[in-house]
């Protein structure tokens, strides 16, 4: 018995020496972080973008949900072998709070659709949409559609993106180099039994970030650790050289899975990594992702186990036929092995399904192999995210940056120890940041729908269809029944939230709706209409002038009279403020103060609403 224990301990010690290759020291992680930051910078710069391994693709997503978007939206999520269709209802919930409710269905993507032609793939997607609409009796409605498309895309607008290359086992011909939204629209048109208005296409990381922003307004980073691995974040526009404009921020899809494709990770690649890469569908590409993603983790462990067998440290030096079969050790086995309670039963059962009869010592070594591979994955991923977050802090010149990261993906959510190992290293490498991590619920679908809602709201605010060919004056009144309140309109245009609409706010608003290079004289002319700084009250005046004849003074007076039952011609400031803050399209405290700044009222705080209505509809205070 003692001799057996001694042999087992010796085998474990020798196995640990082999597994030590997976350990990354802090200096190694800092080196990965710095190289990631260098490639990010190269990806953002116009002159170095093409050769950069981290492409830093602009997404044209600049606005986040404000809590006033409403409507029904359809969301599609394509990023792996399963495809999801989701109906998202955005609006006021039972408690009067803004809510997002979802219904969804999963569809499997058949192999012939993944590897056939683009027409076959998108015809199948169109068929799935049709089936979903039938089940929910929605074919009669033309819904805005948000498309989560989790592959490298060069965006030309929020609803137009060119597929750079397939990943994750997809090879459908005729898609690379083409506009993905156009391919989807063509497939819907070919089918002909329903209509959809595709208003936004986003990456799954972007959708995750936006979905989590709904929960936490400090969420400015989105990350996926599942089949693959990727991240996005809000970058300063002045650093995004691929898009014109310097004001505000834009969400950038890093596509960091390709980090290492130019040799940045060569010193960290082990023999197992090289075998996985050689046997993949895209040798020499997505090397960082292959160190982290769930698509590859199980195979890496299998190769490590074969190495230990060859060294006569495992299974008495003999591997089963199943263990020698590529892909036999699934990534879910890694999570299950590391979840074993300590009695080794779960590990034994997994190995038994692979035709093995392991000893207790074998089970312990297999567990250590799984821990070594998954820990390296967590630490590598952490070094990349630390690079992103430190870059954000430096760009914003903040001594201490408080930020939230939204995360989705099966590895992050289901592996028993990944997130704890990952969090610890991220925080160690970002000493000047306070980071909160939140998990996305239905992130890809819900986020795409919320982005669609924001896009529709922006378009409706300016009296346009969601994909406008041109933009009318910013002060133009909303058309039809989709116009928001003036407080929402002011908030949409006041991009930097300083309470004043300036030239940069106008330029940013135009840019978000697809019109760039607006002549300076056009912007100056709009600002001159305000005859000074355009705060909320001045905005009301300008908006009222554009409403001339569509919302007469008497209609506004009638609304005010509801709050003046005694007919005195005044409403109490405090009571009116409470109504503005709590009812219908709620104002923010800052917006209320801006409105009150030029509102006629007496020393007792009574608002002369007749004079206020005149200002709103005529643009000048009535002369006494």
Residue in 164, 220, 233 with CA at minimum distance from that of residue 384:
233
- Can you tell me the distance from the alpha carbon of 121 to that of 127, in angstroms, rounded to the nearest whole number? 10
Residue in 308, 302, 318, 304 with CA at minimum distance from that of residue 350:
302
Query: Based on the domain organization, do 514 and 589 belong to the same domain?
Result: yes
Cα distances (Å, whole numbers) of residue 599 to 566, 587, 592, 604, 610: 21, 16, 10, 13, 11
DSSP secondary-structure letter at 30? Answer: H
| Model pLDDT for residues 250-287, shown as the tens digit of each residue | 889 999 999 999 999 999 999 999 999 999 988 999 99
Residues 43 and 52 sit within 8 Å (Cβ to Cβ):
yes
**What is the maximal distance between C-alpha atoms in the chain?**
108
pLDDT of res. 342: 92
Residue in 463, 487, 492, 458 with CA at minimum distance from that of residue 583:
487
Query: Based on the domain organization, do 474 and 424 belong to the same domain?
Result: no
331 in a structural domain = yes
Query: Based on the domain organization, do 479 and 613 belong to the same domain?
Result: yes
- Can you tell me the distance from the alpha carbon of 26 to that of 96, in angstroms, rounded to the nearest whole number? 49
Residue with the two structure tokens 């006021």: 92
pLDDT of res. 216: 86
Residues 514 and 157 sit within 8 Å (Cβ to Cβ):
yes
Q: 3-class SS at 250?
A: strand
**What sign does the CA torsion over 402, 408, 409, 412 have?**
positive
pLDDT of res. 470: 27
Number of domains in the chain: 3
277 in a structural domain = yes
Residue 593 burial by Cβ neighbours in a 10 Å radius (0-12, 13-18, 19+) = middle
Out of 77, 204, 273, 505, the active site residue is 204
176 in a structural domain = yes
Residues 513 and 458 sit within 8 Å (Cβ to Cβ):
yes
- Can you tell me the distance from the alpha carbon of 288 to that of 110, in angstroms, rounded to the nearest whole number? 27
Task: Please say if 503 is a catalytic residue.
Answer: no
Residues 58 and 46 sit within 8 Å (Cβ to Cβ):
no
pLDDT of res. 116: 94
- Can you tell me the distance from the alpha carbon of 533 to that of 615, in angstroms, rounded to the nearest whole number? 17
Residues 37 and 429 sit within 8 Å (Cβ to Cβ):
no
255 in a structural domain = no
Ramachandran angles phi, psi of 76, nearest 5°:
-115, 145
Taking the complete model, does pTM exceed 0.75, yes or no?
Answer: no
> What percent of the chain is modeled with pLDDT above 90?
47
Residues 91 and 70 sit within 8 Å (Cβ to Cβ):
yes
Interhelix angle for 294-310 vs 360-396, to 10°? 140
Tell me the average confidence (pLDDT) per consecutive run of 10 residues in the chain, 624 residues long. Answer: 72 93 98 98 96 92 56 78 79 56 83 93 94 88 81 83 87 94 93 84 84 84 93 94 87 95 97 97 94 97 98 95 96 97 95 96 97 98 98 91 94 96 98 94 53 49 36 35 47 63 71 58 71 61 48 59 70 76 60 67 74 61 43
Residues 600 and 611 sit within 8 Å (Cβ to Cβ):
yes
Query: Based on the domain organization, do 298 and 390 belong to the same domain?
Result: yes
407 in a structural domain = yes
Residue in 444, 452, 447, 442 with CA at minimum distance from that of residue 71:
452
Other CB atoms within 10 A of residue 193 CB: 12
Which CATH number characterizes residue 347's domain? Answer: 3.40.367.20
Query: Based on the domain organization, do 49 and 72 belong to the same domain?
Result: no
CA Rg value for the chain: 29
Q: Which residues lie across from 73 on neighbouring strands?
A: 88
Residues 189 and 424 sit within 8 Å (Cβ to Cβ):
no
Residue 420 burial by Cβ neighbours in a 10 Å radius (0-12, 13-18, 19+) = exposed
Which CATH number characterizes residue 479's domain? Answer: 1.10.238.10
561 in a structural domain = yes
Which CATH number characterizes residue 105's domain? Answer: 3.30.420.40
Query: Based on the domain organization, do 467 and 596 belong to the same domain?
Result: yes
Cα distances (Å, whole numbers) of residue 528 to 60, 521, 525, 539, 618: 29, 10, 5, 12, 17
pLDDT of res. 607: 80
Residue 210 CA to its chain's centroid (Å): 5
Residues 93 and 99 sit within 8 Å (Cβ to Cβ):
yes
Residues 505 and 493 sit within 8 Å (Cβ to Cβ):
yes
Query: Based on the domain organization, do 50 and 130 belong to the same domain?
Result: no
| Model pLDDT for residues 530-572, shown as the tens digit of each residue | 666 676 555 555 555 444 444 455 656 666 665 666 777 788 8
Q: Which residues lie across from 163 on neighbouring strands?
A: 153
Interhelix angle for 609-618 vs 536-546, to 10°? 60
Query: Based on the domain organization, do 287 and 360 belong to the same domain?
Result: yes
Q: Which helix (H) or strand (E) holds 36?
A: helix 26-44
- Can you tell me the distance from the alpha carbon of 375 to that of 301, in angstroms, rounded to the nearest whole number? 12
pLDDT of res. 97: 56
Out of 55, 160, 168, 307, the active site residue is 168
Q: 3-class SS at 64?
A: coil
Query: Based on the domain organization, do 71 and 51 belong to the same domain?
Result: no
Query: Based on the domain organization, do 267 and 375 belong to the same domain?
Result: yes
Q: Which residues lie across from 102 on neighbouring strands?
A: 88
207 in a structural domain = no
What is the DSSP track for 531-572? TS-B-HHHHHHHHHHHTTTTS-HHHHHHHHHTT-TT--SEEE
Task: Please say if 38 is a catalytic residue.
Answer: no
| Model pLDDT for residues 54-73, shown as the tens digit of each residue | 999 998 777 554 544 456 77
Residues 29 and 421 sit within 8 Å (Cβ to Cβ):
no
Query: Based on the domain organization, do 26 and 75 belong to the same domain?
Result: no
- Can you tell me the distance from the alpha carbon of 45 to that of 390, in angstroms, rounded to the nearest whole number? 18
In which domain, by residue range, is 283 found? 2-55+260-430
Residue in 587, 559, 432 with CA at minimum distance from that of residue 499:
587
pLDDT of res. 614: 65
211 in a structural domain = no
Query: Based on the domain organization, do 379 and 468 belong to the same domain?
Result: no
Residue 606 burial by Cβ neighbours in a 10 Å radius (0-12, 13-18, 19+) = middle
């Amino acid at each position: 018995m003692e001799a057996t224990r001694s042999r087992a301990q010796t085998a474990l010690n020798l196995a640990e020496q082999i597994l030590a290759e997976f350990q990354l020291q802090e200096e190694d992680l800092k080196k990965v972080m710095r190289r990631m930051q260098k490639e990010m910078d190269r990806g953002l710069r116009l002159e170095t973008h093409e050769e950069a391994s981290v492409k830093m693709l602009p997404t044209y997503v600049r606005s986040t949900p404000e809590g006033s978007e409403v409507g029904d939206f359809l969301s599609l999520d394509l990023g792996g072998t399963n495809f999801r269709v989701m109906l998202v209802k955005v609006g006021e919930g039972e408690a009067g709070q803004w809510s997002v409710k979802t219904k969804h269905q999963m569809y499997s993507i058949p192999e012939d659709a993944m590897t056939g032609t683009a027409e076959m793939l998108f015809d199948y997607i169109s068929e799935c949409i049709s089936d979903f609409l039938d089940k929910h009796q929605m074919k009669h409605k033309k819904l805005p559609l948000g498309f989560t498309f989790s592959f490298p895309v060069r965006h030309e607008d929020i609803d137009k993106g060119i597929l750079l290359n397939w990943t994750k086992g997809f090879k459908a011909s005729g898609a690379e180099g083409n506009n993905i939204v156009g391919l989807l629209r063509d497939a819907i048109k070919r089918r002909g039994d329903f209509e959809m208005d595709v208003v936004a296409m986003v990456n799954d990381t972007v959708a995750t970030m936006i979905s989590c922003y709904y929960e936490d307004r400090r969420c400015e980073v989105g990350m996926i650790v599942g089949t693959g691995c990727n991240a996005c974040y809000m970058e300063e526009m002045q650093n995004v050289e691929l898009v014109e404009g310097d004001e505000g921020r834009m969400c950038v899809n890093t596509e960091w899975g390709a980090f290492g494709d130019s040799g940045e990770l060569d010193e960290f690649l082990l023999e197992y990594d090289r075998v996985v890469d050689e046997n993949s569908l895209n040798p020499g590409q997505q090397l960082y992702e292959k160190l982290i993603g769930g698509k590859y983790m199980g195979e890496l462990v299998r190769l490590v186990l074969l190495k230990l067998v060859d060294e006569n440290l495992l299974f008495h030096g003999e591997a089963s036929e199943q263990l020698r079969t590529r892909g036999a050790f699934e990534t879910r086995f890694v999570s299950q092995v590391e979840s074993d309670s300590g009695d080794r039963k779960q590990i034994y059962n997994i190995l038994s399904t692979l035709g093995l009869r392991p000893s207790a010592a074998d089970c312990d070594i297999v567990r250590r192999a799984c821990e070594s591979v998954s820990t390296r994955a967590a630490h590598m991923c952490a070094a990349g995210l630390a690079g992103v977050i430190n870059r954000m802090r430096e760009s914003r010149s903040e001594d201490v940056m408080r930020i939230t990261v939204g995360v989705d993906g099966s590895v992050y959510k289901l592996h028993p120890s990944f997130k704890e190992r990952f969090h610890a290293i991220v925080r160690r490498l970002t000493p000047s940041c306070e980071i909160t991590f939140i998990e996305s619920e239905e992130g890809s679908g819900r986020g795409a729908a919320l982005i669609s809602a924001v896009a529709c709201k922006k378009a409706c605010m300016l009296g346009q269809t969601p994909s406008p060919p041109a933009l009318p004056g910013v002060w133009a009144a909303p058309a039809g029944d989709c116009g928001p309140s003036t407080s929402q309109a002011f908030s949409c245009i006041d991009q930097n939230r300083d309470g004043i609409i300036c030239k940069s706010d106008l330029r940013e608003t135009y840019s978000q709706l697809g019109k760039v290079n607006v002549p300076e004289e056009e912007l100056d002319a709009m600002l001159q209409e305000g005859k000074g700084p355009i705060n909320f009250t001045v905005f009301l005046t300008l908006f009222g002038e554009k409403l001339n004849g569509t919302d007469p003074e008497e209609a506004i007076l009638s609304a005010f009279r509801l709050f003046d039952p005694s007919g005195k011609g005044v409403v109490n400031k405090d009571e009116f403020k409470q109504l503005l803050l709590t009812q219908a399209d709620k104002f923010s405290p800052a917006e209320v103060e801006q409105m009150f700044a030029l509102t006629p009222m007496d020393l007792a705080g009574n608002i002369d609403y007749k004079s206020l209505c005149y200002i709103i509809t005529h643009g000048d205070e009535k002369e006494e």
